[in-house]
Chains A and B, each alone.
Chain A
């Protein structure tokens, strides 16, 4: 027996987990607040759980016909059916044509995992994945493991302080052919019709594959059907796409990791083949998905009374969040905090950008023990009646201490390139930003 371990050369991996959270935990200050929890919190500072869940858990526990028999590899058929319907709508043309289906996965992570593996194996020619900067650490790693190149983009415009969906058009225009575009939380996207048509055309022309990520359906508008309306558009306009639907987040059942990878294909045959391949990946990753979460969700969604109660609880949460946003904006106004805070109420969902600078964030973390990530994106459910005053005052102090408050302004003009016809831009085929086309260029245009 060798006296040395076979694991001798294994390096210590850096600890996963938020440094911010560790700092928060070690902080002794009684006023400390953490505003970056990944889960939805209630007003009492505990994670939210929809009231239908404990009810359903009791019902299942007392059901004499309840058994733990093996599930199919792709999950309960009933679960996949009701959740896919929740996403694409019961009367979706895709359901009528039987070309939409799903596979139950372990959380949104598992869904992206299956989707990424599938695209690696079966979508030849795709090498780049365009993913939002905020999601890079979460899901970018998964694509990277499969061998894709990650390219970041962001919808949030830190200058105009709005979520500019038009940026997607830029991303699509500059994207490589056959690349994958991961769109996070599309439920609140609004674009004028012409721009939608342009986006659609560009995506189709370049064969960009859309991979949607719906992290908590229902938390944008309070109505899950309304949140997924945008996907109905993509379905009826002949797009093929994947969508990672993290169901358990919409119920507060974070620990059961119940999600659905929805596949919308061109026809039934393609759907069946895609699903069968996804099932194989699932088989060798986790065998079959865990049952409890899917059972609870299927029971709630199939029972009209429970379904209504669930929607009501969602609406209640969303109304609370909207109220919190209004209150924060109002308090900042009353304190006379410099800057425009409209963007706080203009964004929706659980997480939103505060629009403050990195220095101001540092001030908040170090001096006021208000823990916010560097991006300035906070979880609004972490703000409750106990800490809202302290938070508003702290933000006020931070702005007054360091620099101006957030003010929507034009983005700085892109610097003209020093050599507009440099070798590099010729090679890459990109027109250098800011360079005007030469009047003689028309002679050489194809």
Chain B
């Protein structure tokens, strides 16, 4: 930039009177004893105050305050609420029937094993992550008999939770996908979707983020026609973010037949599938069933990314365990993709954290621990299925207007109740039941103790407020 060259400061060579005076030389060494040569107590601020001067202004005085995430605010409000009947249906984590977080027994066992293991080396993990974690995680998603694994055309990158995995995938695509279009490639996310999808792809540099039809509010189900139409109209090579199972926030998944239709349109239009798999095992209780969509696409010969998260199905929310799976046409392509991803990771976080990956790798590679984990996951999934059935039956027994079959048709942690914004407000303010303005509830917030209260409250909201 030529204009920058003129902005160098002009060094003033004028000698002022002040500089010619000899100031007392005191060696200003900072040492532990702080021998009085240090700055006056209170420093500049006290001096300024004493002299009645105004404080210097921050160079960041114009930086605005950013908004916190809605879900966190909801939880904060819930915590402050003194009402004993309060129910939190907004948070995105599993809760037991006692409304407590649940550390999976297998996880606790493995954690103790790891803590007791004196020979663990705490050096930096490789940039792409713990190798045993990456291979096992990919195997879980794609299946032991996956043709892609057999043909050696998959790769994986350990990420900081599902978010980190999505981000690395997005950063790669923004740099290297779609010829010269790169950042201008349209990225389609479902309407509605997990709010961070927009943020992650946008932060990665994509400039054209669009939504595709997904939730049909009138029939409270999947708007397949709208979705397929959007895919037909999308420019070729657009990126589509698909939820592998247990769609967040609607809980509505395409059936296998519907997935087949989606895949055939995407194949014909050369659209790129970027799966987000955060709930494998959590949705139906069966790992293979929940991975059906991803495996179908792989069998159909697609090249795709899949961002896995183990936050929910291992209950390891705060250890940030995620994996980005890359499926390519052949091993050479995957190798090159991974080399570029390594370069990206090097700049973003350099090396991922070890604990969560160690726990998952240890569990998945031992047959007994693996089967214990499968049971733990089924426990969580079964409780959710039970709560769904119970809520629906109560609403139907109360004769609440409207159809409630979607409560049990939907799958996974979340349900789009179909409640309007006003009805949600009523529930929060009058009944101290916290849920998102979209009407999304977390099934795990329901317990055998509060089911009746919640059912009657929903009944009231629907009948009182139209």
Contact = CB atoms under 8 A, between A and B. Distances in A.
A273 B270 contact: no
A238 B124 contact: no
B290 interface: no
Contacts of B7: 176-177
A210 to B, nearest CB: 11
A68 B319 contact: yes
A12 B340 CA distance: 7
B203 A257 contact: no
Interface in A1-57: 1-13, 15-16, 38-39, 46-47, 49, 53-54, 57
B351 to A, nearest CB: 6
A287 B320 contact: yes
Interface string B328-372: 111001111101101100111111111110000000000000000
A209 interface: yes
A232 B339 CA distance: 42
B123 A254 contact: yes
Chain A binding surface, main DSSP class: loop
Contacts of A291: 318-319
A369 to B, nearest CB: 22
A5 B303 contact: yes
Interface stretch (A262-270, A312-320, A333-341, A415-423): A262-270
A292 B122 contact: no
Nearest to B345: A16
A66 interface: yes
Given A47-B123, A57-B115, A427-B5, A7 B60 contact: no
Nearest to B104: A68
Contacts of A304: none
A280 B336 CA distance: 31
Given A254-B124, A257-B352, A123 B60 contact: yes
Contacts of B116: 58, 61
Interface string B50-94: 000001111111111111110010000000000000000000110
Contact of B328 (A7, A15, A67, A107): A7
Nearest to A47: B123
B103 interface: yes
A410 interface: no
Chain A: number of interface residues, binned into ranges: 35 or more
B180 to A, nearest CB: 10
Interface string B1-22: 1001111111111100000000
Interface of B: 1, 4-14, 23, 25-32, 34, 37-39, 41-46, 55-69, 72, 92-93, 101, 103, 107-108, 111-112, 114-116, 118, 121-125, 127, 160-164, 167, 176-179, 196, 199-200, 202-204, 237, 267, 270, 272, 300-303, 315-320, 328-330, 333-337, 339-340, 342-343, 346-356
11 contacts: A13-B343, A54-B115, A62-B112, A68-B107, A69-B101, A229-B32, A233-B30, A255-B123, A273-B64, A291-B319, A429-B9
Given A70-B93, A122-B63, A176-B9, 9 more contacts: A1-B302, A5-B333, A6-B272, A7-B328, A68-B319, A122-B62, A176-B8, A190-B30, A266-B58
Interface of A: 1-13, 15-16, 38-39, 46-47, 49, 53-54, 57-58, 60-62, 66-73, 93, 97, 106-107, 109-110, 113, 122-123, 127, 141-142, 145, 173, 176-177, 190-194, 196, 206-207, 209, 221, 223, 225-226, 229-230, 232-233, 235-238, 240, 252-258, 265-267, 270, 272-274, 276-277, 279-281, 283-293, 427-431, 437, 445-446
